[in-house]
Structure formats: structure tokens, C-alpha cells
Structure 1
């Protein structure tokens, strides 16, 4: 399963926010933002903090995309 945070980055643009603003408002670390920038997995706790901060639902900020047939997970 591949994780994509494109929806989150678009939502930030639509709300005229920067990643730094999200980090500060949601109380996230720079490492978490960096992981998300690389479409890596983060905890559901992090996703819940983001949703609470932005007043949105999980499916508003993240997509879970099935791997193509024959591809293996990194983990």
C-alpha cells in the first residue's frame, strides 16, 4: 500500500498555509513533515492531530493506493 499526502498539500495551498504553519499549529516535528513529504507512513495519532487542526477528515488529507501487481512493500 502506498500513501499519498497530495490532498494535504493541496489543502494547505487552498488555505494559504505553509508546511511550517501546519507543523506549529498541530504540534508536529520537522521529522514528521519530512516523512510526509516523502510519502512515508506516519502514525494515526499524527493524522488525527492534523485533522483536528485543519477541521477535516482523514480522507481529506491522505490517499491509500494499492501497490501495482508484482510490486512489494518497502517494509
Structure 2
């Protein structure tokens, strides 16, 4: 199964947020964000941190 994070990038655009802002807000590394940009697998903890920071659910970002 292929995972796409297009919803995450759309959400960041809607919130007028940059990727580095998400890293700071969620406390995730730039390498984790790079994996997301390539639609690669990331640890569930990364997704949880992002959802908590953005106050959303998994289905809102992927």
C-alpha cells in the first residue's frame, strides 16, 4: 500500500505554514519531514506528534 501525504502539504498551505515551522511546532527532525516529502514510511510517533501539533487526525494528513 502506498501512503500519500498530499493532505498534509495542503493543510500547511491552508495554515500558511512552512515545513520548518512544522518541524519546530511538532518537535520532529528535518529528515523525518524529508521522508514524508518522498511518501516514505515514518514512525507512528512522528505522525502522532504532527497531528497533536496541528490538532488534527491521521485522516487529515494522509
Deviations 1:7-37 (A, max 9, x none): 0000000000010000011011111010000
| CA offsets 1:25-65 (integer angstroms, 9 cap, x no match) | 10111110100000001011100000000000000001xxx
The TM-score with structure 2 as length reference comes to 0.97
Superposed CA RMSD: 0.5
Q: Larger strand proportion, structure 1 or 2?
A: 1
Task: In structure 1, list runs of 5 or more residues that go unmatched.
Answer: 63-75
Q: How many residues align?
A: 62
Runs of 4+ in 1 over 6 A off after TM superposition: none
Q: Work out which of the two has the higher radius of gyration on C-alpha atoms and give 1 or 2.
A: 1
Q: Find the counterpart in structure 2 of residue 50 from structure 1.
A: 50
Task: Note the residue ranges of structure 2 that are not aligned, 5 or more in a row.
Answer: none
TM-score by length of 1: 0.81
